[in-house]
Amino acid sequence: MTRFWILYKKLYTWRLRHISDQTYLLMLSVVVGVLSGLAAVLLKTVVHLSGRYVMSLGGTHAGVGGGNIFSLFAPLVGILLTVVFVRFIIKGDIGHGIPSVLFSISRKKGFLPPRNMYSSLVASTLTVAFGGSVGLEAPIASTGSAIGSNVGRFFHVHAKGVKLLLGCGAAGAIAGIFKAPLAGVLFTVEVLMFDMTMTTVVPLLLSALSASTVAYFLMGQQVQFAFRVAEDFTLGQIPFLIVLGVFCAFSSVYFLRCTDKVEEWFSKRKGWVAKWIAGGLTLGIMIFLFPPLYGEGYWALTELLNGSNDDALFANSVFNAFRDNGGVALVILFVLILLKPVATATTIGSGGVGGTFGPSLVVGGLSGYFIAALGNYLGLPPQSTANFALVGMAAVMTGVMHAPFMGVFLIAEITGGYALMVPLLITATVTYICVQPFEKHSIYARKLAEQGDLMTHNKDASAWQLMDLRKLIETNFATVSADGTLRDIVEAIKRSKRNLFPVLDSEGHFLGLIVMDDLRQLIFEQSLYDTITIKELMMTFEDKDLVHFGDSPSEVVKKFQLSNRYNLIVVDEEGKYQGFLSRANTFSAYRRFISAASDE
């Protein structure tokens, strides 16, 4: 070990002399991409194999009415194994996927614990392999981000570089899992809110391309949802695409609100055992009745894209007797759209680990297929159910994740071309416009935004939102009692280097302020020391001159703008004096924040 560190130091010294920081980052971005791609391949392979093994234990039709009774209890086992791993092996919170990455970027300078490089992989595998109705994309993106963060810190990259490598890890993970490098880059830009600059785009592309290459090498040319578009776009499809966009907006808002409410319900329950039993059994019942809810749900979506709607909706189902009834198929599709968000939130709320990226794709695919199938059922001009399913995937991803370009280009890369580009753009735009009035932030960012912990593309607004103004409070001011006299002020002047003197009552509440410039003539009149009281000399203040602990940074900025003073008094919730905020120090801290957050 000692020899390793000696060699490490020699290599680091050689790097400082011969390799520039920019070149160094480009080299590390490739390393991060390769590692993220390997992690993506490992996760998909292990989950696929373990999932097949778990299902083989239950047989094909081991139940009543055509349903698989094994699916009633498999999620219960998977969630229990996940909870045991997290609580008793990891012994701590493994984070909440993408929100924890966003929080790391905003508040922790890109730091993610080393254990995040493997904890999400193991936990999500246990959850999904046993039927947990969540996706693997968020855990793998979180893993890739942790890889990038820790690689950056291990090789002594500066703070901006660590954040950039974190983004490279996320881009590589998404690119590796879908073999879609452009989608990986756009995920980092739109979801993690990285700025698209020359400083960031080249490392992100290198990482995404490296991860995709690794995935192609180890898993072959086949991609998830591989599909070749056979029907060209026509102008007559535009009204149907607009309807699809509106419906996907409904699906997106429902997805956001439903997952939030279900997870909130579980968060209010006490004891992990009660959550596990309630969630595991509820999820098992939903999967028993509707098998497409099992696991990620990609298998059912793939069957729909390939035209095997009977197998996708009725295989191992208690509704198998209605296989030839188109109306029942439509009802099941709509129920699946409503239940998938419930199943996802139930899995996570009861202790499972997974993400909402995959479920949003599934809900989008089901929504698109439903609209096309409904129109065909009603005798309207026939539409391609496969094309509409693909377009719906991009649309709901746009609504849920607020990532229109990622959704559009992900589907374009999956289909191997741009034949669906116009339908994708039309539907995604309509969905985004319809969702915006109801949901301002993505599913990953909404809670962080409410807490004021979100770094957005608007660095100016983020600076005022994320700056910790309490660290800027100055406390080296001599205070005086409201019951004192001019003599007390003179004594305070002797021991203070500041020209402001807060006036407090006996309990420390702020009452007013005395300014040194107002005393210049009085302090030389010793005969007045005991006759003039502090209450006669102090200046009272309006609320605009006071900063309360509950004020947001943006409110503090407004008070600086409304007040002509260079210093604002800070008081706590009870009105007790805490110190001063200086206009100069506050805006200097703002400039430092902007400088640190900017890439160019």
- Reported as a pLDDT band with limits 50, 70 and 90, residue 369 is very high
pLDDT tens across 151-167, in order? 998 888 888 888 899 99
The 3-class SS string of 89-110 reads: HHCCCCCCCHHHHHHHHHHCCC
Q: Has residue 16 got a pLDDT over 80?
A: no
CA angle (181, 428, 305) in 5-degree steps: 70
Residues of the chain with pLDDT > 90: what percent? Answer: 34
Q: Which fold has domain 235-453?
A: Clc chloride channel (1.10.3080)
Cα–Cα nearest to 556, from 447, 472, 441: 472
C-alpha of 496 from chain center: 48
Q: Please report the pLDDT score of residue 110 as a whole number.
A: 80
Do 396 and 248 touch, CB atoms closer than 8 A? yes
Least confident stretch, 74-88, 360-374, 394-408, 447-461:
447-461
Mean pLDDT across the stretch 552-574? 77
Encoding tokens for residue 160? 């901006």
Higher pLDDT, 320 or 254: 254
Task: Please report the DSSP string for 175-235 in residue order.
Answer: HHHHT-HHHHHHHHHHTS-----HHHHHHHHHHHHHHHHHHHHHH-S--TT-----S---G
* CATH match of 2-219 with 1.10.3080.10: yes
Q: Has residue 64 got a pLDDT over 50?
A: no
Higher pLDDT, 67 or 571: 571
Q: Has residue 450 got a pLDDT over 70?
A: no
Residues β-bridged to residue 580: 474, 569
Higher pLDDT, 561 or 291: 291
Higher pLDDT, 273 or 324: 273
Q: What are phi and psi of 385, to 5 degrees?
A: -65, -35
Mean pLDDT across the stretch 175-190? 90
Mean pLDDT of the chain: 83
Do 516 and 500 touch, CB atoms closer than 8 A? yes
Query: Residues spanned by CATH 1.10.3080.10 within the chain?
Result: 2-219, 235-453
CA distance from start to end of the chain = 39
DSSP code, position 382: P
Q: Please report the pLDDT score of residue 454 as a whole number.
A: 52
Query: Which architecture characterizes domain 464-597 according to CATH?
Result: Roll (3.10)
Considering the entire predicted model, what is its pTM?
0.79
